[in-house]
Amino acid sequence: MTGTDSRDDILARVRAGLAHDPALVDTRRRAALDYLSARAQNSRPRLAGDLTQRFCQRALAMSSTLDRVASLAQVPAAVARYLTANGLPLKGVCWTCHAALDWAAAGLHVEARAAGHDDLVGITGAFCAIAETGTLMLLSGAETAATTSLLPETHIAIVPASRIVAGMEDGFALLRAEHGELPHAVNFVSGPSRTGDIELTLVLGAHGPYRVHLLIVADE
């Protein structure tokens, strides 16, 4: 057998191994979910007090800023106040699920699309929020582009109080219950991007947004 024949034989085996049967993939996925469901969580500290209050405290400690609104309809005005107070552009991009909010009435120009390199403000929702660490859990998808939270210098996240859970384990349990499987990507946001790699000096915005502003929407 020549070198070329050996290479072709190896590549053929690799291709055969990569070819997947959708039915087999579904069977393995279900088996994995059954395995996870059958396993009890390890013991972990119980969070005392109100989850929303705990989340806000931890988020502030992670250098996020936040505001509270009584309803989703009040979000555009709250965004406008924040951007104006910080001298930021009154325009940005948002997830499709928030396209119907009356941004124009608040004096904002907001487009429902994925963020590009020139967009300075990105507005997202959150699949859920983790009270223990002040972290947002974001799922990527066609209507929830990951770039909207990663590329702009300012990330504004709309967080329903009803979607605040105690710990990371609860977030993944909610994901399995509502989606059954992982999306293309799960992103966790704990305040602005930061690094201390350069002479141990903390620098914000090194790999993502300089600012993370949270709008906590009360349960309706």
- Rounded CA separation 43/41 (Å): 6
13 and 98 together in one domain? no
Q: Is the pLDDT of residue 164 over 80?
A: yes
Kindly report, residue by residue over 2-32, the tens digit of the pLDDT. Answer: 556 777 888 777 777 666 666 665 676 666 6
117 and 155 together in one domain? yes
What would the mean pLDDT of 195-201 be, rounded to a whole number?
58
74: DSSP letter:
G
Please report which confidence band the pLDDT of residue 151 belongs to, taking 50, 70 and 90 as the band edges.
very high
CA angle (152, 91, 53) in 5-degree steps: 65
- Rounded CA separation 77/82 (Å): 9
Whole-number percent of the chain with pLDDT over 90: 61
Q: Is residue 10 part of a domain?
A: yes
Kindly report, residue by residue over 58-91, the tens digit of the pLDDT. Answer: 999 999 999 999 999 999 999 999 999 999 999 9
Residues in the chain: 220
Beta strands in 85-134 (DSSP E): 91-94, 109-112, 121-124, 128-130
16 and 86 together in one domain? no
176 and 77 together in one domain? yes
Please report which confidence band the pLDDT of residue 39 belongs to, taking 50, 70 and 90 as the band edges.
low
What stretch of H or E contains 13? helix 3-18
- Residue 6: what pLDDT? 78
92 and 25 together in one domain? no
- Rounded CA separation 164/88 (Å): 28
Q: Is residue 44 part of a domain?
A: no
27 and 61 together in one domain? no
Q: Which of 155, 126, 123, 150 is nearest to 138 (CA)?
A: 126
Please report which confidence band the pLDDT of residue 183 belongs to, taking 50, 70 and 90 as the band edges.
confident
Per-residue burial over 170-202, b = 16 or more CB atoms within 10 Å of its CB, e = otherwise: bbbeebeeeeeeeeeeebebbbbbbeeeeeeee
Structural domain boundaries, residue 56: 51-217
The tally of domains found in the chain comes to 2
Q: Is the pLDDT of residue 198 over 70?
A: no
Q: Is residue 61 part of a domain?
A: yes
Record the tokens describing residue 57, joined without a space: 């405290």
Q: Is residue 46 part of a domain?
A: no
Q: Is the pLDDT of residue 197 over 70?
A: no
Q: Is residue 18 part of a domain?
A: yes
34 and 94 together in one domain? no
Handedness of CA 20, 24, 30, 32 (dihedral sign): negative
